[in-house]
Amino acid sequence: MELGTRFTKITRAAGRIRHGLQEKLFLGNLAARRDWGYAPEFVEGMWLMLQQEEPDDFVLATGEAHSVEEFCVLAFERAGMPLVFEWEGEQRRGVDAEGKVRVSVDPRYYRPTEVDQLIGDPTKAREKLGWAPETLFADLVSRMVDNDMALAKGEAGSGSRYPTKNQEPRARNKQHLPDQPRRNQPQALSPAHEGVAH
């Protein structure tokens, strides 16, 4: 299972920018479209697969795809900083109400093997397992932002800061705390996942 670490990065940045701990978020392909779902619901689907008398293949997905830019718009709006995306040369950027650039594209974050759209068809899981996702995309983003807003508020209040404000793009470093997934945080799943019950 691949967790959407790029998307927790977005909600984490929204919270940290809102609380003055970070200036800007750097991302890759804003046009990439993914089928995101709420992880606990997908785990329930996996459990249902294991209850079947005969092994079978199922796809767990929402059947909807949303772009990274859409994710950013919802996340920053939830954090109280609505963004307007505009073109700057050949790249998109997200600008807040004060005219500050909060989201920028850096080509170094493009993934060489990335596909433009990943979306799953959960029809079989719905018909045979009775499984269907219940958490809407906007609600998923809101849950993630609320969680990271609370963490950023605590970080700002304690005076604790990460090693950098991520004002300049840099390569991912396993030793760098902001790029590590947090425990007990609602996670987005990306892309739609196949589950096989044996």
pLDDT tens-digit profile of 161-181? 443 334 344 444 434 334 444
Kindly list the structural domains of the chain, giving each domain's residue range(s) and its CATH number in brackets, ordered by start.
5-163+188-193 (3.90.25.10)
* pLDDT interval class at 106 (50, 70, 90): very high
List Cα–Cα distances, 161 to 22, 27, 79, 164, 183, in angstroms. Answer: 10, 21, 19, 8, 19
**Nearest CA-CA partner of 8 in 59, 71, 63, 56:** 71
195 vs 77, higher pLDDT? 77
C-beta of residue 178 within 8 angstroms of C-beta of residue 162: yes
pLDDT digits (tens, 9 = 90+) for 118-171: 999 999 999 999 999 999 999 999 999 999 999 999 999 876 444 333 434 444
Q: Give me the amino acid identity at 64.
A: E
The candidate with the shortest Cα–Cα distance to 38, out of 129, 131, 130, 103, is 131
Q: What's residue 196's pLDDT?
A: 37
> What is the pLDDT confidence band of residue 111, given thresholds at 50, 70 and 90?
confident
